[in-house]
Every structure is written in C-alpha cells, then in structure tokens.
Structure 1
Amino acid sequence: MAALGVAPPAGLTGFGELRLSLPATKVQWLALAAGVGLGLVGAELAWHHPLSGPLALAAWGVVVLLAALFWVKTPVLLLAPLPLIGLAPWSGWITFEEQDLLVTACGCGGYLAYALQLNARDRAPAWRHALVYSPAVLVLILAVALWTLLSVKRGFDDAGGFAFGWFHGYHEAMNSVRNAKAIFLVLALLPLWTAAAAARPRGFSRGLLLGLVAALAAGSAAALWERLAYTGLLDFSTDYRTTALFWEMHVGGAALDGFLVMTLPFALLALLRTRSPWRFAVGLVIALLAAYAVLTTFSRGVYLALPLALVPMVLLADAQRRRAAASGADSSHIDSTLGAVDKPMPRLAKIGALGMAAAFALAAALVFGGGGYRGLLALFFVMVILLTMPASLWLPPLAQRLTALLMGGVLALLLGGASWALSMAVPKAAYVLNFIATLCCAALRWRDEPGRQRPIYVLLVTTAWFWLLATMVIVADYWGGTSGRWTALAAGLALAGVWAAMLLQPQLWPLQKAGAAGWRKRALLVAGLLLVMAIVAVLGGGSYLRDRVANWKEDGQTRLTHWRDGLHLLHGGEQWLLGKGAGRFVSSNLYEGPADSQIGDYRLRTDETEAFVALTGGKHMLGRGEQFRLSQRIAAPAPGPVTITLVSRTAADANLVLQICEKNLIYPDRCSSVEPLLKPVRAEGQPETGASAWQTSKITLGAVPALGGDWWAPRFVTFSMALDTRGARVDIARIAMQDSQGRQLLANGDFNREMARWFFSSDRYHLPWHIKNVALHVLFEQGLVGLALLGGAYALALVRLSFGRGRDHPLAPAIVAALIGFGTVGAFDSLLDAPRIGFLFFTLLLLGLGLRALPGEGVARVA
C-alpha cells in the first residue's frame, strides 16, 4: 500500500519525514490490535488515577508518542524511571500503579509504530536476530504464564470470588492481580521486543543496558537523598535501613535489595567495557552511588548476594573476550570496538596486588579505629599517590633503587619528626602538612620523564611518599590521640613495607605493564579503595550493622520458624500441588496463623448514610513500631497547634493514636501525637450489646514544630492513625485537620472517593506480611507444579547464558549475575510480591531465555 508522508512535529525535524503505512501482514494487524487494546486499558487506568486523571492521561499520551518514535529502545522508557514512579504513598493505589501506565503506554506506542511501519527500517535477516525463542522454550513460557493465571483464579476463589476494586488491600480479591501481574506485563511487551531485536539487534541491547544503568542511577540517587534528609550521610549507627522510593517496603520486604542486585551488575559490566573517558567517569559515579546504597541497606542478604553474583559475571565476561579473540585471529570479523584482550597478570604481579589490597584493608581498619574519617581520608590520598607511581622509577638498577629507598626513608623520617613537632605546636597544622605533602607528590608525578633513568628522581619520589605516609600518621595522632598514633603507625609501616618490596622487585608491581588502558585500571583501583573505605566506615563507624551480623543465628532461627508456620497454612495435597492462590498469604496468615500473626487491618464499609473505614488493631504485642497505621502524605503544617475533627464510633474502649511525623516510609521522626481514648456512645434506649452511635470529637494536636526538612534535602510529612489497643476496632466516618493558619491538610477525609490518598504501613512488624523466601512464596501461591515450572525456567536461563546459545551475547554475564543475585536475596525474602521487582526479574528471565549473540561477530561492546 502507498506510504503516507507526514510532516514531523516541531522539535522533531531531525527525524526527517515520518513515514506511515497501513499494516501489510497478519503480524502487523495483530500488532495494531495489541496497540489499540493496550491503549484502551492504559487510558482507562490513567483517567482513574487518584491524584489527577487529566494530568495522568496527558503524561501517558506523551509516553505513547515517545514509544512510537523510539520503539526499538522502549526498555529505556520502561526501566529508567522504574525506581521513581511508585506514587502509592500519595495516591493510595497498590493494585494498580504508575508502572502499569508506563507499560501500557510503551506497548501502545510501540505496537502502533510497528504496525503502521513508522520510520520502518529493513528487517535484519533471521541469522542476525538477537532474540529468538525455540519451540520448547515457548512452551515453557506459556506453561509458566498459564499456571500463574490459574493461581490468580485460585486466589479469587480463596477470597470469596472475584470483586473488582480500585483500592483493594492485601486481603481482598484484587491482591491476586497485584501479586501476579508482573509476568503478564512483561509478556505484553515481549513480541514488541522480539521485533525490535530483529530490526536493530545492537540498538535493542544498548537500550536495555542504558535503561538498567539509568534505573540504578535513579534508585541510588533516591537512596542518597533519603540518607541525607533523614539520617545524614555518615550516620551508620541509627536503626534506619534505606528504602529509597520503593513503597512496597511499607510492610517490610527487600524491594530495594532486589533492585540493587539486579541492576548493579549491568553498571559494572558497562564500566568494564567502555573505552570512553567521560562514559567511564559517569559509570564510576553511578557505581559508587550504588555501592553507598548497598551499604546503607544493612542487608546481610545483599552483602552475600553481590560477591556470589559478581564473581561469575567477571569470569563469564573474561571467557567471552577470550573466545572473541580466539575466533578472530585473522581480525576480519571481530568488532573493532572490543579492543585488545588484556593479557593475564603474571603470578608475582597477582601476589603484589593481593599484598597491596590486604595492606590497605588492614591499614584502613587500623587508621579508622583511631584516626576517624580524617585519618581514613589521609590514607586514601596515600594510596592514590601510590597507584599513580610512574614506570620510570624502575628504570635505574637495583643498587640505585635500594639506595634511594634507604635515603628516602631517612629523609622522610626527619621530615616526619619536624612535621610532628609543628603539629603539636600549631593547631590544625597536621592537616596543612598532609595537604602540602600531597601536593609535593602530585608535582613530582607531573615532572616524570618516561623512559629516562633518574636516580635522584626516584629518591625524591620515595622521600615525598614516605613523608606523606608520615603526615597520615600525624593526622590520625592529632585527631585520635595516642590510640590513633599507634594504630596509624602500624598501618604506615605495613604500607611502607609493601612499597619497598615492590620498588625492589618490579615483578610485584601490578601496574608495571598497564599499557594504554592504565588509566582505566587505576581508576577502577581507586574506586575499589573508596569501596573498602566505605565498608570500613560502615562496620567501624556504627554499631547497627555489627549488631545485625551478631544476631544472624537468632534471626535465622526466627526465619526457619516462620517458614514452617507459613507452610502449615497449606492444607491437603491439592493446595500443595496447585497452591493456595496468588496474593493469599497475608490473609491466610491473618485468619489461620498464630495469634501473634493477627495484624491490624482496615476495610472500607458503607451503611445507610455514608462510607466509613473500619480500622482494627492487631492482636500481637503492640508497640510504637508494631502498630498498623493508616496514613496520608500532607503538606507541612504551619508551626503551632493543629485541630482535628473526628467522627467515629467504637463498641469498646480503644486508644486511637493520631500523629504528624516527618517520615519517608517506615521510620517516623519528629512526631507530634495525641492519643484520645474513644468510648462507646449509645443512644437512649439502645441496648448495651448493639452498635455504638457516631460521635464527633474535637482534638488538639499540641504545638507542631516546623516540618519538611531543608530545601536541599526535603522530608516528607505524614499524618497517621493507629490503634494502641489489641484487637480493638474503630469506625471512622470523617476526619478533618486544620493547621494554625486554618488550612485544611487532609484530602478525602470523608472517604467518598474510597481510599484515594490513604496509604497504610506496618513499620517494624513485618513477618506476617511475607513468607520471606521467594521459592516458598511461589510454592504457597502456585504449588509444587508452579515452583517446578518457574524453577526450570530460571535454571534454563542460567545454563543457556553461561554455556549455551546465549553465552556470547554482550549482556549475558550481567543477566546471569542479576539472576544469581535475585536468587540469593530471594532466599531470605519473597521479592515477587513487589510488582516492580517482579517486573524487573521477569524481564531479565524471559530475555535470558531468548537472547543470543550475532553469529560471526564475537562479543559486541554495548557500553
């Protein structure tokens, strides 16, 4: 059919003339139907968004347009904003969320662009397709999807039948949809991605990598903001585990943990592959931000998962490069962007590298213990100067190097003694001397003349570095006193011995033959130094992680007991075989579990006149963190008293806790609270056993201080309601709140918009909300058959990407690492009950079952 030429919109002239054609094949007609269907679903969801339907619809339309223009790289649009788009604490939506809008928008725009052949490009021949599924794999994927669909039906049945609701909680039927939807969201886009990988194999791979790295950057930046706003960057003692913007952790869980272990491998792989200095710098910043986020999760599962995942990734990436080099001996069909394969490091160089790493780790622990952060920073500059030592130092013969070493040590000892005396006499002189010594070392490095033997230059460099080492000890002594002095001195002697051995024996120096890529190796080593410093600071600078590590045995026993109690909720062979149904663990645990697992809840109810919320308290031991809270994010009230008007009823005495706090998700701070005792009020002639009458209460919430944090690190302000009486119930028909300036602070206080804008949390009592193991989670919801199907797909993806057709795809090592990391963290938490994490997992799993390298081209660099 004739193509239609359409003038491009303003600002898109770089695309040339947009070409549209009517569908010409059955596949294109199916794509058109899929695009229209996803468009109808997405527009309906956007229009019902609790915050603003028109605004959500407009944003959804913009994403549709972007997806149509860049349909090959829709993974960027989908994955990059993933950690930032959870607005449930503001909207009250948990069954549906912004991720669903994003998927439907990308699917609508992408399928329409494919069907109408928008800017169509020649389809690559079949042998160049980067995403191909064998019939057996397709059958396996279909079986997993159908079995998940069966678990949704069983979940509906267990909940008493299907009932649609925009604001259902964890106990109602729509929670089955929430728990199971992730795989179907990915499947909705998989045909589009298959077409994209056929049309632009490398473009699709680059889009996937860019989307995952951008997602990691966004999630790590959110974690950095949270620490900056709520604890301070270097506070590692406060009982505060980072949650970033993953609202799914409002009842505990490991959403952030799973996100980090599945995205960090892609950033590290890009860092190892890139040859561009500016991209390397950006990647290094992202990796360091992610490392900080990892450390501040204080998650033992993440700390275990990353080594288990990254070691195989490095081995698989190295095997890829070696296979590429071996197959391209004639260099005729290797991607020229790969560069030369690095030669293996000699054995003595490996020993030297290990010795240097061990000496620095020991020195960091010793210096930080006595000299604090200032001593650790001085040690860092010592190591940076060491890593930048020029190769010309090893040109003079051994006798001259030995002489320079001995004389340099003596001169540095004299300079160090004079510097110590000056630091005792002049305040802050220790820091100034350390800075001057660093400048001297840098100036000498700049004056290097490669290829020339200069024994005097070796003497000067050695003297300056030993002096810098001495000033590091002086800084630690100035800051930490006697303990800082002796621990830093021991660290300095260890480093001095390592450098002396390397100067005398060149084969021990790991960077002796760094070549043109030496700057990359040095930059990676400096990043490693920063990571070691961060680990030392977390372990030595705060007691929280040490306490968590010390309690691993008790926590493990608690987890085993919880797993056993959770499996006892499966009754009979049918439930063991088929599962109890998607999303049914929380409700089953509430009604059938131990008494201390009966948590608080809320339900929206209506009577003859109005809607109201029935708020109940748990039957477990209640404390400030264990209460079930119904909350709403509000604007910061004006300082002064806050007035609350409450219309409620109760059948028995109940303590209601009303609070305004600075709070991101589960850690309230700077709270103002009031705890009115609500008593039943009965109308004249009403029996004592009947329902209580509605009563209106006016409550003053003290003098609320200025809240909201600083402009550069804002804090969220949250109002919450909770019951401090075990097993109590309070019905709330209306609640309004005014600050000292008369501003109304609450939205939907009469619940006429159902539970829009209301959110709930259980800040510290988490076990009843999760079975805390991803395999047991699948077993509980889908039975042994579902576990076998998903486990088989997981194992097949790992084998295929490690040893099969997909092993030479450029992203294969990172996907393997991500899946291993997911499995390791999943050994201690459910993960799949967080839809965004489930979406990320199924994206990597299903792509891993089909990705393959382009034949004859080795490993393409996609960074």
Structure 2
Amino acid sequence: MAAVGATPATGLLGLGELQLKLPTTRTQWLALAAGLGLGLIGAELAWHHPLSGPLALAAWGLAVLAAALFWVKTPVLLFAPLPLIGLAPWSGWISFEEMDLLVTACGCGGYLAYALQLNARDRAPAWRHGLVYSPLAVMLVLAFALSTLWSVKRGFSDAGGFQFGWFHGYHEAMNSVRNAKAVFLVLALLPLWTAAAAARPRGFSRGLLLGLVLALAGGCAAALWERLAYTGLLDFSTDYRTTALFWEMHVGGAALDGFLVLTLPFALLALLRTRSPWRFAIGMGIALLAVYAVLTTFSRGVYLALPLALAPMVLLADAQRRRAAGAGPESSSHADSTLGAVDEPLPRLAKIGALAMAAAFALAATLVFGGGGYRGLLALFFVMVVLLTLPASLWRPPLGQRLTALIMGGLLALLLGAASWALSTAVPKAAYVLNFVALLCCAALRWLDKPDQTRPIYVLLTATAWFWLLASMVIVADYWGGTTGRYTSLAAGLALASVFAAMLLEHRLWPLRETGAAGWRKRALLVAGLVLVMAVVAALGGGAYLRDRVATWKEDGQTRLTHWHDGLRLLHGGRQWLLGKGSGRYVASNLYDGPEQYQVGDYRLRTDEDEAFLALTAGKHIQGRGEQFRMSQRVATPAPGPVTVTLVGRTAQDAVLGLQLCEKNLLYPDNCFGAETILKPERAADAPPDTPAAWQTHKFKLGPVTQMGGDWWAPRFVTFSLSLGTRGARVDISRIAMHDSQGRALLVNGDFNREMARWFFSSDRHHLPWHIKNAALHVLFEQGLIGLALAGSLYVLVLVRLSFGRGRDHPLAPAFVAALIGFGTVGAFDSLLDAPRIGFIFFALLLLGLGLRALPGEGVARVA
C-alpha cells in the first residue's frame, strides 16, 4: 500500500486541522474495506468481553481514535501495552484476548485514517520507502500463510469439526484459532505498516523502536512487582520462576523468556546509540530492570540465548560503523536518524584492552564473591568504577615517567595496605572504614585532575591511591571471609593490577579515550556492565535454586530428547508428517494417544435439563499437589475470619476434591487456606446402575483466613481454586458460592450461566504434556514438513538479508538479527509459538525484516 497524496493538514490540538476526504484510489477503497471489517470484528469482540462489554467497547473506541490520529506510529500503540494487557486470569478468555482487541483497533483506526486521508502525507518516492518486499519474500509469506490456514482446517477436523465457542480450552476446536492467529494478525496490519514506512520511514522506525522498548519496560516492571510481592527482590534460592503478567505460562512454557529475548536487543541498541542524557538515563534504567528480569526467569535457555544473540548484534553494529566511515565524507553523516549518530569503531588494541578488562573483572568477581561475599563484591565494584573513570591526563607523561610512577605507586600502596591490614585485625570494622577512606582519596584525585597539564606526581598519587583501594578490597574480603576470602581476593587483585599496569604503560590498550559527554556516556555503559556481571555472579553464587538448575542441565537435556521423541510419535502416516496434525492439537493428541503421564485433566461446560454445569476431570498421571489440574478464579481480598464455600455437585465414583484460597499470581501458591474431602456418588437404592448420581450440596470451611492481599505497594492476587486428587476422576459442579466472614460473595458466575466467564485453569508443575518444547517441532507437528520448510526459509532469509543483504544498513537491523537469533535459541528448548502474544511479536519482526531497508543517509548510501 502506498502513502496517499493530499494537501498537508493544519492543526487540531497541535496535530493539524483534521481534513477528511473520500477515497479516490482503489488502494484507499481497499483500506476502507479493511478498516470497516476489522472494526466490525473488534467491536463484536469488545462487546462480548467477559469483564464488561461496555467498558471494553469504550476502551476499544479510544484505541481506534488514537490509531487514526497516529497511524504512522501504530507500533507504539500496539507493542507498548502488550505485556500488561493479558487479563485471562480475570476474564477466563483464552481463545480471544485483549491483544485481539488492540490489533483490530489499530487496524481499524489506521486503515480508516489512510482511506479518508486523515493526517495525510505526500506520496514518498520509491527510493524513500522503508519497507520493500521482493517477489520471493511475498511468495514465501503467502505460502506460509496458506500452510497455517490449512493447519487450522486440519485442527478443526481433528477436533471433530468446527464449533465456535467463547471459552474453549486446549482440547476443543477454537484452540486451533488461538494457536494460529498471531501470523494472521500481523498480516492484517502489514499493508498499513508498509504505507506508514513509505509515508514517514524514519517516523515508523522510531515508533517501532519505541514500542518495543516500552513493551520491555512494562514487562520488566511487572516482573519486578512479582518478585517484590511474592519472593523478595534478592531471593535467588526459592523455587519460584518469574512469570510477570504472561498468563500463557499457566501451564508452563517460556512466554516471558521469549518476550525478553525479542525486545531486549532493541533497548540495548537504543542505549548504545542515544545521545540525549535523559534518554540515556531512562534507557539505562530499563536495561538494568531487564537484566533483573532475565536473572529471575532462572531459564538456562535465556542465559544461553542472550550472549549468542548480542554478540552478532555488536558485530553487525560495528560493521555498520565501518562501512559508514569508509564511505567518505559525503556519508559521514552516516548518522542514524532513528537512534542518533553512531560512534567510531574502536582500534584493534583498544578492543583487546576492553576484552582484557572485562575478563579480569569477571574472573575477579567470581573469586571475590566466593570468598568475600557481598561486601567483597561491593568493594571490587568501586575498584572497577575508579578504574573506568581514570582521567586521560595519566597518559600525558612519557613512558619512563609512567613506569616509575607505576613501580613507586605499587610499593607505596603495599606499605599502606600492610598498615591497613594490621589496623583491621586490631580494630573491628576498620576494614570497611579504610576502604571508604581509600575510595575518597581516589575521588579527590579525580576531582583535582587538570586535563591539559603533564604532571608525573599526579600519576604517582593516582596509581598509589588505586592500588591502595585494591588492597583494601582484599582486606574487606579477608575480614568477612577469613582465609578463603583473603586468598581468592588476592588472586583477583593481582589479575586487575596486571591489567591496570599494562594499560598505563601501553596507552593504545586503553579503550576509553573519549572525553566530555561521549566519554562519560561510555563509562556509564561500562558501569552498568559491571552491575550486570555482579548480578550474574551473585545469582549463581548466592542462589541455590539457580545452581541446581545449572547443575542438572545434562539430565534435563535427556528428558527433553525423550519428550521430543514421544511428541513426534503422535504423528501417524506420511500425510501427517507432510501436512501436520493440525493447529492446536498437541495437548488433545496427548490426551487420546499419548503416554499415561501426559494425559492431563480437562473441563467442559455441559447442560442438564437446560441448566449449565461444569464437568471437571482429573488427569491419569500421578495427582500430586503441583500436578493437579485446577479451575481458578481471582477474587477480592476476603475479610479475616472463616470463609464458607457451598458447592452443589455429583460424581459417579469416589473422588478427592480439594479447595484452596491462596495468594497466587499464576503457578506458585502461598499463604493458602484449604479443605479436602472425598465426594461419594449418591443414588436411590432401587435406581438402575446407569442412572446418573444425584446432586448433593456440600459446605466447607476454609480458614479462618488471616490478612491476605499483600502490601499496598506490592499487592498479591488472591485466587480460589478447585482440583481433583483422584486419577481419572470426574466431578460435575452445578453451583458454587463462597462468602467471607462478613457475608460478602467472593465468586462470580458460580452457576456457570455465563459459560466459563471469570474461570481460568492452570497446571502448576506438570508442564510437559502441554508443550512439545521446541519451536521447530511445534511447527512440524502442526503444519508438517512443508510448513517447517517454509518457516525455516523465512527465518534464514531474514537473517541473511539483515546481516549481508539490502537490509543490513538499516539502523535497527542489528537488533532484528539479535532478537531472531535469541528467539531461535530459546525456541530450541520451548515451543514459544503457542503463546499468541509472543508469536505476534516474533512474526511482526520476521515479516518486517523481510522488507526492511536503509534509506540514503542511513548507513552506507545504497542504490534503491
């Protein structure tokens, strides 16, 4: 779709005087039809929202208006709220969700604005189009879309035929729609984005970048809240893996992992290139927050994916800089208009120095934390901060004077260190005071720097103060950790001292030559890197749970291999291998054809004499507390005291029914109050054996509950759940009600007259039956070898195009490549594509990457 031609707008609320015109071209008429079609779908979905149809419709309308006013930057409106708008635990919706409302709203508003020429832009010449698709790319995308559509049809057929339902689970036909919809939602918006990239290519790129960075900030803020509320910020030993607000992890999976690897590269690329101080500060905060979220996933896949993804990003960004620098003065505005001007590449020796410094600190942090704990690690951190902020004037004296200052400074520091150690053994806490005094001396010397003067004495004093600070770090570790701390920190100190000496003598090894704002910006990035390394060392060294997960990688790898083999055994015959079993059919295939330990519980809404009831069944595997299939509802915080549950149900066999009221986000219950009973069938004495059991009314007391809900600054969700503890049992529930000590009704839709609205299911610990645990095998299972070949071709084509082809000089190309590599790495150990929000981000990056290209003035000038 091309950008429309129209007279420029003037202003409304600072945006211009809005002018509407009827469509004049066939493209505009198609856009009008697309906008109206998406509008009808979105309005219908909003009106049926389980929480409140009118409120959802009003919010959807506001999103339509925003998309119409800012149609070029719809990626901001779409991606930014994405990790925060999953309301399934409250609504009970899984086939449809708030993402669908947001996509239809952005599509409706954007297409209508385009068709009616709202905020119109002059037609851009072809060489300014930011998204251009080759015939090969178009053909592959259409073929993959057809393959996905065919897998939906096969999924319907495998489920016994299509049957629409607002609240279908993973075994029913609508799960095929849920699993496949992500790619079609992206395709619905792709023409609009192509038009936006033609009208304002740089504005569109900025919007895409901003949307993904804001999404990362929102998702990581949710992760921070979860840790603060449920575990504490520094607890790395509890068996609690962060899920944030990704409800898709209610049966396990890696939705948060996939989200982090898809969005984090964009935040890091923006941080590396931004020149605005306040944007840099905000970006630094987001990056550190993301690092914390990454650590608390306890996901070995993410830990592996980020280095594998970020290393190519750095190399590709460096290659962009070198091509731009080699293009001559006419391209020296290789300025990246999306992210700001890029830095000149470091010389080779400076790169070696930077790597040596990083390796020395990583080694030192590991050694010091092992013997000196958190106090020793903090002292080491300040040693490195002082090292990174050393002034450039140290290298003004000639080599001989620098060598003399180095030797004499080392000897003086040894004397100061020996005196400090003696004092620390005699006076309690003196080690910490002396470390602080040495740090103050280093800070004072840095403040007294005179950049334009050659002062050998200043070099001597600075070297002495830094070596003394290094010695005081050893003393702190020795004071806290004893002999172990002394020797490990001494080894770390020697490594750092060697790096410092080499850099002071050979100035070309020093990587921080810039001064002024650019120099301090780079130093701030390196300090953030220090914090990252410290966090990783502390998490690995101080968290028993993470250490255990790292230690069991071999056993878990064998479990994965067995699981993949079991999953592929569910494909029968050449037709299923070629075309797949059908979208969304993995869980149901396990239920009917898989091993017993993979046959999980289920729920269905049934009717008896026109009265709805819930049929809840348990899986055939071992029914431990974490393995039980649960039906849950988020409830208001109950008043302290006893909670009464009244349940009308029936069963055909003895079944253990468990009820729990817990503080729980998604998978990990805490502060629970429960009851458990054995339900028995009840029939009249003279009733035939096949007569359904009679309905019985049961009353349960939970508690007395104490104060629930957490603190106001870190609230906890309160969740009520039902589960069966008998293998293969079934219990029908006609009505259920719960009242707290003040008589308030806590459950909504307890008679199921609104179908399954407000009810949500989960499996806290038994996750393998729900996912095939590999993204490629997920595509193979659903779409067969044909679908896998098409998806793999698209994936490889994007990586090649953005690394070596026409898209390689686009400002965002390195981040695209890193995101896709990271997704592929995490996807080697988890399905990912069965989480629609994660699939949507992935397919958006994949399809945009197929057409992304740099404009003249960005990177090396290229012929369009």
> TM tier, shorter chain?
over 0.9
Q: How does 1:191-590 map to 2 (within 5 A)?
A: 191-331=191-331, 334-335=334-335, 339=341, 342-347=344-349, 349-424=350-425, 426-512=427-513, 517-590=518-591
1:21 paired with 2:21, answer yes
Aligned to 2:19, the other structure's residue is in SS state strand
Once the two structures are superposed, residues 340-398 of structure 1 have per-residue CA deviations (whole angstroms, 9 ceiling, x without a partner) of 75244233x34433332222112111211122222211111110001111111122234
Deviating more after overlay: 718-727 vs 678-687 = 678-687
Once the two structures are superposed, residues 142-172 of structure 1 have per-residue CA deviations (whole angstroms, 9 ceiling, x without a partner) of 1111221111111111111111110000000
Once the two structures are superposed, residues 476-532 of structure 1 have per-residue CA deviations (whole angstroms, 9 ceiling, x without a partner) of 233333332332233223322322333233333332467863223212211211111
1:600 paired with 2:598, answer no
Are 2:8 and 2:120, in contact at CA under 8 Å, matched by a contact in 1?
A: no
Once the two structures are superposed, residues 601-636 of structure 1 have per-residue CA deviations (whole angstroms, 9 ceiling, x without a partner) of 111111115211111111111211111111111122
Q: Counterpart of 1:51?
A: 51
Are 2:5 and 2:123, in contact at CA under 8 Å, matched by a contact in 1?
A: no
Are 1:5 and 1:18, in contact at CA under 8 Å, matched by a contact in 2?
A: no
**Normalising by structure 2, what TM-score?**
0.96
Looking at structure 1, the residues matched to 762 and 470 of structure 2 have their Cα atoms a distance apart, in angstroms, of: 51
Q: How does 1:653-732 map to 2 (within 5 A)?
A: 653-732=654-733
**Cα gap change, 1:476/1:548 in structure 2, threshold over 3 Å: closer, same or farther?**
same
Aligned to 1:791, the other structure's residue is in SS state helix
Q: Which amino acid aligns with 2:560?
A: R
| Structure 2 gap segments, 5+ residues each | none
**Cα gap change, 1:574/1:3 in structure 2, threshold over 3 Å: closer, same or farther?**
closer
Looking at structure 2, the residues matched to 5 and 817 of structure 1 have their Cα atoms a distance apart, in angstroms, of: 38
Looking at structure 2, the residues matched to 798 and 75 of structure 1 have their Cα atoms a distance apart, in angstroms, of: 22
Q: Which amino acid aligns with 2:192?
A: L
Once the two structures are superposed, residues 101-142 of structure 1 have per-residue CA deviations (whole angstroms, 9 ceiling, x without a partner) of 000000111111111111212121111111112233222211
Looking at structure 1, the residues matched to 634 and 422 of structure 2 have their Cα atoms a distance apart, in angstroms, of: 57
CA shift for structure 1 position 686: 2.1
Looking at structure 2, the residues matched to 485 and 359 of structure 1 have their Cα atoms a distance apart, in angstroms, of: 18
Looking at structure 1, the residues matched to 332 and 10 of structure 2 have their Cα atoms a distance apart, in angstroms, of: 42
Q: Counterpart of 1:768?
A: 769
Q: Which amino acid aligns with 1:342?
A: E
**Cα gap change, 1:354/1:154 in structure 2, threshold over 3 Å: closer, same or farther?**
same
**Cα gap change, 1:350/1:13 in structure 2, threshold over 3 Å: closer, same or farther?**
closer
Are 2:775 and 2:828, in contact at CA under 8 Å, matched by a contact in 1?
A: yes
Q: How does 1:796-835 map to 2 (within 5 A)?
A: 796-835=797-836
Looking at structure 2, the residues matched to 713 and 430 of structure 1 have their Cα atoms a distance apart, in angstroms, of: 37
**Cα gap change, 1:237/1:839 in structure 2, threshold over 3 Å: closer, same or farther?**
same
CA shift for structure 1 position 685: 2.5
Aligned to 1:702, the other structure's residue is in SS state strand
Aligned to 2:133, the other structure's residue is in SS state coil
Identity value in percent = 81
**Cα gap change, 1:331/1:651 in structure 2, threshold over 3 Å: closer, same or farther?**
closer
Q: Counterpart of 1:794?
A: 795
| Structure 1 gap segments, 5+ residues each | none
Q: Counterpart of 1:101?
A: 101
CA shift for structure 1 position 418: 4.2
Q: Counterpart of 1:734?
A: 735
CA shift for structure 1 position 791: 1.5
Looking at structure 1, the residues matched to 305 and 272 of structure 2 have their Cα atoms a distance apart, in angstroms, of: 20
Are 1:3 and 1:19, in contact at CA under 8 Å, matched by a contact in 2?
A: no
Q: Which amino acid aligns with 1:62?
A: L
Q: Counterpart of 1:152?
A: 152
**Cα gap change, 1:159/1:442 in structure 2, threshold over 3 Å: closer, same or farther?**
same
CA shift for structure 1 position 293: 1.2
Q: Counterpart of 2:624?
A: 623
Aligned to 1:569, the other structure's residue is in SS state coil
**Cα gap change, 1:526/1:7 in structure 2, threshold over 3 Å: closer, same or farther?**
closer
Once the two structures are superposed, residues 202-248 of structure 1 have per-residue CA deviations (whole angstroms, 9 ceiling, x without a partner) of 00011011111111111111111111211122111111111111110
Q: Which amino acid aligns with 2:573?
A: G
**Cα gap change, 1:334/1:389 in structure 2, threshold over 3 Å: closer, same or farther?**
closer
**Cα gap change, 1:320/1:25 in structure 2, threshold over 3 Å: closer, same or farther?**
same
Once the two structures are superposed, residues 21-68 of structure 1 have per-residue CA deviations (whole angstroms, 9 ceiling, x without a partner) of 111111111111111111111111111111111111111111111101
Are 1:393 and 1:458, in contact at CA under 8 Å, matched by a contact in 2?
A: yes
Q: How does 1:172-183 map to 2 (within 5 A)?
A: 172-183=172-183
CA shift for structure 1 position 4: 12
Looking at structure 1, the residues matched to 712 and 479 of structure 2 have their Cα atoms a distance apart, in angstroms, of: 35
Deviating more after overlay: 387-396 vs 245-254 = 387-396
State the aligned residue count: 856
**Cα gap change, 1:340/1:710 in structure 2, threshold over 3 Å: closer, same or farther?**
closer
Q: Which amino acid aligns with 1:28?
A: Q
Aligned to 1:673, the other structure's residue is in SS state strand
Q: Which amino acid aligns with 2:557?
A: G
Q: Counterpart of 1:122?
A: 122
Looking at structure 2, the residues matched to 568 and 555 of structure 1 have their Cα atoms a distance apart, in angstroms, of: 20
Looking at structure 2, the residues matched to 333 and 486 of structure 1 have their Cα atoms a distance apart, in angstroms, of: 52
Aligned to 1:472, the other structure's residue is in SS state helix
Are 2:318 and 2:345, in contact at CA under 8 Å, matched by a contact in 1?
A: no
Deviating more after overlay: 543-552 vs 749-758 = 543-552
Looking at structure 2, the residues matched to 290 and 435 of structure 1 have their Cα atoms a distance apart, in angstroms, of: 30
CA shift for structure 1 position 426: 4.9
Are 1:5 and 1:19, in contact at CA under 8 Å, matched by a contact in 2?
A: no
Q: Which amino acid aligns with 2:751?
A: D
Deviating more after overlay: 190-199 vs 482-491 = 482-491
Q: Counterpart of 2:69?
A: 69
Are 1:514 and 1:521, in contact at CA under 8 Å, matched by a contact in 2?
A: no
Looking at structure 2, the residues matched to 3 and 390 of structure 1 have their Cα atoms a distance apart, in angstroms, of: 56
Aligned to 1:305, the other structure's residue is in SS state helix
Q: CA RMSD in A?
A: 2.1
Q: Which amino acid aligns with 1:836?
A: R
**Normalising by structure 1, what TM-score?**
0.96
Once the two structures are superposed, residues 632-672 of structure 1 have per-residue CA deviations (whole angstroms, 9 ceiling, x without a partner) of 11122122211111111111111111111111111111211
Q: Counterpart of 2:842?
A: 841
